[in-house]
Structure 1
Amino acid sequence: MSRTGEAVDIRAAAAADHDAVAALNRAAFGGEDEVGIVQRLRRDDLVAVELVAVRAEAIIGYILFSWLPTVVDGRAVKTLALAPMAVRPGAQKRGIGGRLMAALDGARGAGAEAVIVLGHPGYYPRFGFSAALASKLASPFSGEAFMALELVPGALAGQAGAVTYPPAFGL
């Protein structure tokens, strides 16, 4: 249930959901960028965990974790990028995003040691994400919106590292 008492189910995304997920991402982000990223990540077989939130048979939330090459002090770290996460406008601020973040358990189950997100610095820290932890990682991104979470304690420990976003991200 969401905070408003509406029944919301979280389940693995299926191929039959692709059009609805694209429509949700367009509505949530106001454009095609995230739609293209998701399509390319699927095409390139980089998806590790992909979930939808469903209410009354309509997809109202979505989260995707994809493999993100990461190295710290010359050591490969099994890392996932969290991108995108979306909740349909009008259904936001009802706990659906928090329910989707339970996908972190799926990320652990996929063998990930860490997760990287470029997201709202007022939202993701409640789930353990830290800009300080990500600050030593060379990336196209920086600042307080670029955050990391260790799923395995010490996974990102070291002096310096780098993440290499796959071409699917269009960077």
Structure 2
Amino acid sequence: MLIRRETPADRAAIHALHSEAFRREAGVTPVEAPLVDELRADGDLLAPLSLVAVRDGVVVGHVCCSRARLGGDPAAAVGLGPLGVLPAHQASGVGSALMHAVLGAADALGHGLVVLLGNPAYYTRFGFGTASDLAITAPDPQWGRHFQARTLAAYEPTQAGAFEYAPAFSRI
């Protein structure tokens, strides 16, 4: 398996991948597929942090980070997600490989925090914890412990406050 940055040639495969990975109902496109398209169209998808997993020439997984604001600072944190893996490749290490790669890349690029909304049982293995423990306020208080953050090397305790995802998240 190869983990690499997405290219323009991957865009249709990424859309299809998220459509399959998050499908809840036949014939209904899950919000994660157009979300990636909208983040990209708005210029909020961070190209160095939009990674694909490729097996035998096929894109089988994708993860991305987008611009965010934390306490009014547009550079304090990035929002992670969606993370998707084709159903036939789930539970085979693809998602974990993508998470390790995107966290390493975000750290190397000097980001201090990565924030996401997800299942604590999955994301704690990557060092995520409840965002409120770092004085980060969720856009929706009902998210509770599902709203998580992971500090990186450039983290400063002053990086706190209200978190805002890129505008595309509000449109889904």
TM range (shorter): 0.7 to 0.9
Among candidates 33, 36, 43, match of residue 35 of structure 1:
33
Query: Secondary structure of the residue that 2:15 maps to in structure 1?
Result: helix
1:12 and 2:12 aligned: no
The Cα of 1:35 is off from its aligned counterpart by: 1.5
Q: Distance in 2 between matches of 1:90 and 1:130?
A: 29
Query: Secondary structure of the residue that 2:35 maps to in structure 1?
Result: helix
Q: Distance in 2 between matches of 1:159 and 1:117?
A: 15
> Residues 115 and 131 of structure 2 are in contact (CA less than 8 Å); yes or no, is this contact kept in structure 1?
no
The Cα of 1:139 is off from its aligned counterpart by: 2.4
Q: Which residue of 2 aligns with 1:3?
A: none
The Cα of 1:100 is off from its aligned counterpart by: 0.3
Task: Go from structure 1 to structure 2 and tell me whether the alpha carbon gap of 1:88 and 1:76 turns closer, same or farther (over 3 Å shift).
Answer: closer
Q: Tell me the alpha carbon deviations over residues 101-146 of structure 1, each in whole angstroms, 9 at most, x when there is no partner.
A: 1211111233211000101111101110001555732222331211
> Residues 113 and 151 of structure 2 are in contact (CA less than 8 Å); yes or no, is this contact kept in structure 1?
yes
Q: Which residue of 2 aligns with 1:165?
A: 165
Q: Which residue of 2 aligns with 1:58?
A: 58
Deviates more, 1:114-123 or 1:157-166: 157-166
Q: TM-score, normalised by structure 1?
A: 0.85
Among candidates 16, 33, 54, match of residue 23 of structure 1:
16
Gaps of 5+ in 2: 24-28
Among candidates 90, 93, 116, match of residue 95 of structure 1:
93
Aligned letter for 2:148? M
> Residues 79 and 115 of structure 2 are in contact (CA less than 8 Å); yes or no, is this contact kept in structure 1?
yes
Query: Secondary structure of the residue that 2:120 maps to in structure 1?
Result: coil
> Residues 76 and 111 of structure 2 are in contact (CA less than 8 Å); yes or no, is this contact kept in structure 1?
yes
> Residues 114 and 151 of structure 2 are in contact (CA less than 8 Å); yes or no, is this contact kept in structure 1?
yes
Task: Go from structure 1 to structure 2 and tell me whether the alpha carbon gap of 1:11 and 1:75 turns closer, same or farther (over 3 Å shift).
Answer: closer
Q: Distance in 2 between matches of 1:99 and 1:16?
A: 22
Q: Which residue of 2 aligns with 1:85?
A: 83
The Cα of 1:47 is off from its aligned counterpart by: 1.9
Structure with higher helix content:
2
Aligned letter for 2:41? R
Q: TM-score, normalised by structure 2?
A: 0.84
The equivalences for 1:91-130 within 5 A come to 91-101=89-99, 102-130=101-129
1:131 and 2:125 aligned: no
Query: Secondary structure of the residue that 1:43 maps to in structure 2?
Result: helix
Gaps of 5+ in 1: 1-7
Percent identity reads 37
| Aligned-residue CA RMSD (Å) | 2.1
Deviates more, 1:11-20 or 1:35-44: 35-44
Q: Distance in 2 between matches of 1:152 and 1:133?
A: 19
Q: Which residue of 2 aligns with 1:143?
A: 144
